[in-house]
Structure 1
Amino acid sequence: MPLKRIESEKIIQMLKDSFSKNQRYKIIALIIAIAAWVYVSIDENVTVKMDVPFKVDYSNDTGLVAIGDIPKDVTVTLWGPIDIVRALGPSQVKATLEIGTPVKGDMKFELTPRNVYVPADNVKVLKIDPSKIKLNFQKYTEKK
């Protein structure tokens, strides 16, 4: 029985020593660990989906107008630093399809990251939904 008591006293003393000795080094290690965690969490990249306004620009010299379902918004998937991506709002990100001069009939277009304006250089556009748009251009005539 006395042997168990001595062992338990040694264990208790070791535990006390582990908390009370080298406190300066333990505090420094804790500060380094917290600083590393903050650095990693700030530098973290995230993926965010948002609906952004969509606009079709084309020359109207030919008198043609786009008919059919033109989406008002497209869903854009962005990837970048957490603080920058979360600070971006739908009013800052814009999707535009510039056609130039359309021709009469159906025209199909593919939306790429080049069609999306993002005001931050370190944020990438991963995906646009819908990625394909079909527009029908017809001659505009006024009813009298």
Structure 2
Amino acid sequence: ENIMIGDRLRGTTPDRGRASAMLERVGLQDHAHKKPAALSGGMRQRAALARTLLEDRAVVFLDEPFSALDAGTRAAMQELAVELLHGRTVLLVTHDPAEAARLADHILILSATGVQSWPVPALRAPRPVTAPEVWACQSALLSHLRGVPA
């Protein structure tokens, strides 16, 4: 019910089959009957991601959508999001240089002094975490954010 709230708020009939398939994609099919309070933080975050992905909008805002997930689940959910959001405009807010290096088509660093564009690896997202270009981007970005010469 939680991930179909958009349809209910709009007064449209939710597609339960599509919602069930989305719960399966995020690994929550065995927990569909549970209330949000009965889920772990990572499970709640996957439910929120499922709710967003179910909306099927042209423009999507994701604010730290993977932050509470363990490393393996995080990588899987990043790949799912890239797959399902392909061709859309996505604004992903993250504090994780590795996530930005792996997923971004454009990186913008927001700070008290303004906005700075940062180069991304030439590979297509989602980039392999083991790609040297991803490591180099992540390392340089983290050094920059810490104020340490790369």
Higher RCO, Cα 8 Å, sep 6+: 1
Q: Which TM-score applies when normalising by structure 2?
A: 0.24
Q: Tell which structure's C-alpha radius of gyration is larger.
A: 1
Structure number with higher helix proportion: 2
